[in-house]
A and B are shown apart, each in its own frame.
Chain A
Amino acid sequence: QVQLVESGGGVVQPGRSLRLSCTASGLTFSTSGMHWGRQAPGKGLEWVAVISDDGSSKYYADSVKGRFTISRDNSKNAVYLQMNSLRPDDTAVYYCATNGREGVFYYMDVWGKGTTVTVSS
């Protein structure tokens, strides 16, 4: 079955950078778009970014545009989230998810268990 494992979370000071990784197994990774989402403590879900299967197209939520960069390495079955200029309100559990599709309908399909990022001085 499809499994996603996120890593790279931790405690970081405001203004610093962090890179998250998500490693996938059980799927043909090079044919799957990939999402990052997040959930602040006690809050709801927020979509963060998506990357196409070949890495040529990338889209971001307004809240992270210009600070975060999504990328992938299909030879390693991995997707990354480079987070720069981190702010306290970026504190959250970060999830990666595969892109699901049924006809014209898209959704976040299989999710990892998440990695926690805390931005604090």
Chain B
Amino acid sequence: DIQMTQSPSSLSASVGDRVTISCRANQSITFYLNWYQQKAGEAPKHLIYGASSLRSGVPSRFSGSGSGTHFTLTISSLQPEDFATYYCQQSYSTPSLTFGGGTKVQIK
């Protein structure tokens, strides 16, 4: 089974900071990697597919990179509305999907 591990599990940052979240797979998933954002009390929202492709409407300050087993979500300049929990998800084994454990981005 494909396991996804995110780090850190939480981080504190200020508005305007550059934030980087890591996601690792226990085997190569090539580019089959999604990112989601979940704000407290809300359903998740899909942000990125194919490791680096932003879905329509997602602000350009979000970017994804990586391939194989190591992936990164970067927020170039953190905005107040970006404080949330972020999850990676592999779709290499579609239709079965696996989420990472999540990274909570908190206000410093």
Contact = CB atoms under 8 A, between A and B. Distances in A.
Interface of A: 33, 35, 44-47, 50, 57, 59, 61-62, 95, 100, 102-109, 111-114
B38 A45 contact: yes
Instruction: Describe B's contact surface by its main secondary structure.
Output: loop
Given A47-B99, A109-B46, 11 more contacts: A61-B96, A95-B43, A102-B50, A102-B55, A104-B32, A105-B31, A105-B32, A106-B91, A108-B44, A112-B43, A114-B43
Interface of B: 1, 31-32, 34, 36, 38, 42-46, 49-50, 53, 55, 87, 89, 91, 94-102
Contacts of A111: 43-45
B95 A50 contact: yes
Nearest to A48: B97
Contact of A44 (B46, B49, B53, B99): B99
A82 to B, nearest CB: 19
Contact of B91 (A44, A62, A107): A107
B102 A106 contact: no
Nearest to B49: A105
Contact of B95 (A45, A59, A100, A112): A59
Nearest to B31: A105
A45 B96 contact: no
